[in-house]
Amino acid sequence: MVEESLLPLLEFHTNCRSLDDVRKVREMVLAKLCKIDETLADDPTAPSVVSFEAGVEECRGHTLRFLCGDWMMPGAIGMISGDSGTGKTVLAAQLAVGLATGRGVINWRIENRTPVLLASVEGPRHFLMDRCQKILKHTGWDHFPSNMWFHSKTIRDFRIGEPGLERMIQQSRAEVVFLDTLQHFFTGDENSAEEWKNKCLIPLSRLRDRYGTTFILIHHHNKAAESWKAIRGSSAIYSDLDFVIQLRKESEEEEERLVFDGSPVFNRIVEVAKNKYGPRMVEIDHVDFSKPFFYRGKATRGVSL
């Protein structure tokens, strides 16, 4: 019986003598609640199908909408990918700022302010905060958005499938979560399709179903691949994602080719490489790796569908 299987999950001690004890009990309770949710989700007595009429009634009032451009939908699991140094983290930070402030990014329209969580453990957090402040300054936003959140320095169980990630979503109430980079949040082998599904896609899908969260993973390209479009790891990663934004250099010799206000200008090609509604490719300018991407116009080369 499901009820009997829940009983061990409800057993915990509350003999707290310090603030650390309270924190430990709180984490224990949250972890047990996650287990309870999983047990209830696996309830064999729950309906496995829904009728057409009931499904339509369930979806009544829900309209097709985009959080950003015509590619980021609520509850999607997508990715920003590219080689090292192409500006993946900068683009993620700019998207986070744009969503939090309700201001468009590049030529992608953002109509509403959306709570975001930017979890980046690849580099120092103060470096990321500094980038976000500069992006805010360039967008003309004169205060810190109250709906923009970052991971705490003290959190340790932040990886996909661990209770800390769900705890961050609960506390921030973020509708869009950026995980930078995938290798720091995914504990499995990225070259294994089975581990990608079981240790990344399925746990994120459960969080998506529970909270309606949109996840954006930051990941690297496979340097050994002939095509710059190849995402590092199993081909199942690209196949399973709802959208993929890919960055690349305009040319290998373009570094510091142009100068703008005394700073080198780096041209980038950004492509919505995968999208249920059709990919688009645009060309952008990137200034000094600390300022936002700017839209320059559509790229001349075609898009591979």
| 106-125 tens-digit pLDDT | 889 998 999 999 998 877 78
What's the pTM value of the predicted model, to 2 decimals?
0.78
| Ranges of residues in the chain whose predicted pLDDT is under 50 | 1-4, 6-7, 9-12, 226-228, 256, 258-261, 300-305
Does residue 7 sit in the same domain as residue 84? no
- What's the pLDDT score for residue 303? 36
Q: Within this chain, do residues 179 and 276 fall inside the same structural domain, yes or no?
A: yes
- Tell me, yes or no, whether 68 lies in a domain: no
Range list of β-strands (E), 112-262 = 116-120, 148-150, 176-180, 214-220, 243-249, 258-260
50, 144: one domain: no
Q: Name the DSSP letter for residue 178.
A: E
pLDDT reported for residue 238: 92
What pLDDT score does 305 carry?
27
pLDDT digits (tens, 9 = 90+) for 161-206: 999 999 999 999 999 999 999 999 999 999 999 999 999 999 999 9
Residues 12 and 127 in one domain: no
**Which range marks the domain in which residue 259 is found?**
77-297
DSSP code of residue 10: G
The predicted pLDDT at position 98 comes to 95
Cα angle value 73/75/80 (rounded, 5°): 70
**What DSSP string describes 263-298?**
EEEEEEEEEEEEETT---EEEEEEETTTS-EEEEE-
Question: What pLDDT, on a 0 to 100 scale, did the predictor assign at position 118?
Answer: 95
152 and 213 together in one domain: yes
pLDDT at 153: 84
- What pLDDT shows up at residue 288? 57
Domain assignment of residue 302, yes or no: no
